[in-house]
Amino acid sequence: MYNKSFSISENAGNNSFSFGKRKNPELWVAGIVDGQVNSVRTGDKIVFEDFDSTSNLKSCVGLEHFIRTEHPKTKKPVIIVDNHNHVFYFWHEARSKGLIKNGATLIHIDQHKDTRKPDIFLTKKDSEDLQKVFEYTNFVLNVGNYLPPAIEDGLISEVISVTSELELKNTESLTFNLKSLILNIDLDFWSPEMDYINAELKNNVTRELMEKADLITIATSPFFIDQKLAIKVLKELFMVK
């Protein structure tokens, strides 16, 4: 799955946002390749489209490729995508490979909670079928509702949400003796709206958590943060030029 790029033209997944109001609604989904943080670059395809708060249509270009890499110190897996719902598939893929265990703890660093409930939930049995997980991720889930299904099917037992400065500081006092720890990062946490939180604090806490995680998933979220800024932050987090 995700071995090649494809498009979504039906009223499904992320394409359902303002579907009837957009002309020729179609979104691109990139394929994944092995690479490094330096391999992350924007493509030229629209991966998310919706009307912003001023009622202007915002057409967002995403990544050229999703990237599969590893943390430079721990060698634990890192997955980098654009729209955040795609991480749902890669969590289940990691579970199928034994990289994480059922009942994992998720630390969710994001400007948004992403806890809306989808219309359909996968059964626990279907969540073990990666083809069904892939279809569900792309044609049912969207950027705001992918967390509840992962709790429902048993992959995640606890979500530690980090959407504010206080919650970020609270993670510094956490101790971890867990089955598995997933660190789920949305780079929109570094968008201009979140500049009230000190950038050094954000970077330092996030780097510390990265070293404790069994799996790191990162979204560049093109609707919520400029992709040049997102990639700049990504490189800062991994301390690469």
Tokens of 234: 């990504």
Q: Is residue 94 part of a domain?
A: yes
Residue-averaged pLDDT of the chain = 96
Q: Is residue 224 part of a domain?
A: yes
Determine the structural domain holding residue 228 and report its residue range.
Answer: 65-237
Q: Is residue 213 part of a domain?
A: yes
Length of the chain: 241
Tokens of 239: 């301390």
The pLDDT tens digits for 116-155 are 999 999 999 999 999 999 999 999 999 999 999 999 999 9
DSSP string, 35-61: --GGG--EEEEEEEEEE-TTS-EEEEE
Mean pLDDT, rounded, for 89-93: 98
User: Residue 191's closest CA among 138, 230, 140?
Assistant: 230
Instruction: State residue 85's pLDDT score.
Output: 98
Measure the CA–CA gap between 104 and 126, rounded to whole angstroms. Answer: 18
Domain count within the chain: 1
> Residue 179: pLDDT band by 50, 70, 90 thresholds?
confident
> Residue 177: pLDDT band by 50, 70, 90 thresholds?
low
> Residue 236: pLDDT band by 50, 70, 90 thresholds?
very high
Q: Is residue 179 part of a domain?
A: yes
| Percent share of the chain, pLDDT over 70 | 99
Q: Is residue 199 part of a domain?
A: yes
Q: Is residue 58 part of a domain?
A: no
Comparison of pLDDT for 241 and 115, the residue scoring more = 115
Tokens of 206: 């996030």
Residue 173 is given by DSSP the state G
Q: Cβ distance 58 to 51 under 8 Å?
A: yes
Mean pLDDT, rounded, for 80-90: 98
Q: How far is CA 222 from the centre of its chain?
A: 11
- Beta partners for 90? none
User: Residue 12's closest CA among 142, 133, 131?
Assistant: 142
The pLDDT tens digits for 30-79 are 999 999 999 999 999 999 999 999 999 999 999 999 999 999 999 999 99
Instruction: State residue 174's pLDDT score.
Output: 78
